């Protein structure tokens, strides 16, 4: 990330008084040694995926973090047809808004 690294960012998020301080955060990192997942969780990350990111693993993790079921996650292969749909684009926009608030 251009402004700060993941550990610094999660520290700002978790130590904030803002309403989004408990937003789920998944670490995407090239650090894939034994113990790295536990280290990132201890920093305050909600979960951890090492690179290269596996698309199916990412979707399963997002589903778990959001408490969604596979049918409520919208993908090109699985367009939303249920009443409660989690739009990952909206989630990413919310995350970007939170990031901008951090660096402002």
Cα first-last separation, the chain: 15
Q: Mind listing the pLDDT tens digit for each residue in 11-51?
A: 999 999 888 888 888 888 888 888 888 999 999 998 888 88
Q: Mind listing the pLDDT tens digit for each residue in 42-65?
A: 999 988 888 887 777 887 888 788
pTM of the model: 0.60
pLDDT at 96 over 50: yes
**CATH tag, 6-103:** 3.40.50
DSSP label of 33:
S
């Amino acid at each position: 990330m251009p402004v700060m690294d993941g550990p610094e960012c999660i520290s700002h998020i978790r130590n904030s008084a803002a309403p989004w301080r408990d937003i789920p955060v998944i670490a995407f990192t090239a650090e894939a040694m034994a113990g790295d997942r536990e280290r990132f969780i201890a920093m305050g990350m909600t979960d951890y995926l090492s690179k290269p990111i596996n698309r199916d693993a990412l979707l399963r993790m997002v589903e778990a973090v959001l408490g969604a079921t596979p049918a409520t996650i919208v993908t090109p292969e699985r367009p939303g047809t249920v009443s409660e749909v989690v739009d990952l684009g909206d989630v990413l926009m919310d995350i970007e808004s939170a990031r901008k608030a951090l660096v402002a």
